[in-house]
Amino acid sequence: MGSPALPMRVIVVDDEELARALLRELLAGHPDVEIVAECGNGFEAVKAVTEKKPDLLLLDVQMPKLDGFDVLELVGTDVPVIFTTAYDQYAIKAFQVHAVDYLLKPFGAERLAEALARARARVGARETLPAKALVSDARKARAPIERILIRDKADVHVIPVAKIDYIESQDDYVSLKVGDRQLLKEQTLSELEQQLDPGRFVRIHRRYLLNVSRLARIEQSVTDSRVAVLQDGSELPISRSGYAKLREIL
């Protein structure tokens, strides 16, 4: 048994104080585990993970605003995760994002010890998993997303999709136009397009995904090309296939 010389640095995330207290109590029985942060919500968790770079996340699923999966998507690194929840319906999804374990509340010392043993093995093996891609994969199967999560260093923005005017592709990033703000997110436009409701967001051009409710009119510019004029007056190019898609919806 090669127990690691350095303690395993853990962040505990749960919106219920009593649940955190229980983990604190149970983890006290593991001298090789050090709690480096306790978080009461997803925002704190994203911040703490960014700053502390823990070895393991003990992550509740049901939390206000940002749930456990949102946190994982946002931190987007290869932090091993143990989910803790009273709901068994997320087990498959947790498996898809390669969670180390999935603890069903209520759980006791033994079940937690088992999960920690698995986590140690994972940390020891230095397994790196592209958690972000996995989370996105897991998301594809879900209903269209209603909001987009953006991490700006340690801060998190939650953008309801209805507030987005359009989204522009910028290499590996997308730029969200929200009123007079521009927000960057590390994701491809095609990926985002798949997550959004195709009845509300139309790929009018290779580089643009338009919220159709913002469209004021379509103008014919020179010869063949068309231009979308938005309600705020800004203009976006429409490709031939984009025009076909738009006509289908309107």
| Binding interface with other proteins (CB under 8 A) | 15-19, 21-22, 25, 40-41, 43, 62, 64-65, 86-87, 104-108, 143, 145-147, 158, 160
Helix pair angle (68-75, 131-140), 10° resolution: 130
Q: Which residue, 19 or 116, is less far from other proteins as judged by CB? A: 19
12 with 54: CB under 8 angstroms? Answer: no
CB of 189 to other proteins, least distance (A): 21
246 with 202: CB under 8 angstroms? Answer: yes
User: Hey, what's the torsion of the CAs at 113, 14, 119, 5, to 10 degrees?
Assistant: -90
Q: Which two tokens stand for residue 206?
A: 């290779």
What's the distance, CA 74 to chain centroid? 4
What letter represents residue 203's amino acid?
R
CB of 226 to other proteins, least distance (A): 33
CB of 199 to other proteins, least distance (A): 16
Q: Could you give the CA distance from residue 165 to residue 213 in angstroms, rounded to a whole number?
A: 8
Q: Which two tokens stand for residue 80?
A: 């091993």
227 with 237: CB under 8 angstroms? Answer: yes
Q: Which residue, 7 or 40, is less far from other proteins as judged by CB? A: 40
CB of 117 to other proteins, least distance (A): 21
CB of 18 to other proteins, least distance (A): 4
Neighbours of 46 (CB within 10 A): 26
Q: Which residue, 40 or 237, is less far from other proteins as judged by CB? A: 40
Q: Which residue, 84 or 169, is less far from other proteins as judged by CB? A: 84
CB of 48 to other proteins, least distance (A): 15
HSE toward the beta carbon, residue 140, CA cutoff 13 A = 12
Q: Which residue, 109 or 216, is less far from other proteins as judged by CB? A: 109
Q: Which residue, 68 or 242, is less far from other proteins as judged by CB? A: 68
Phi, psi of 221 (to 5 degrees): -95, -130
Q: Which residue, 186 or 197, is less far from other proteins as judged by CB? A: 197
Rg over CA atoms, the chain: 22
CB of 73 to other proteins, least distance (A): 12
Burial class (CB in 10 A: 0-12, 13-18, 19+), 29: exposed
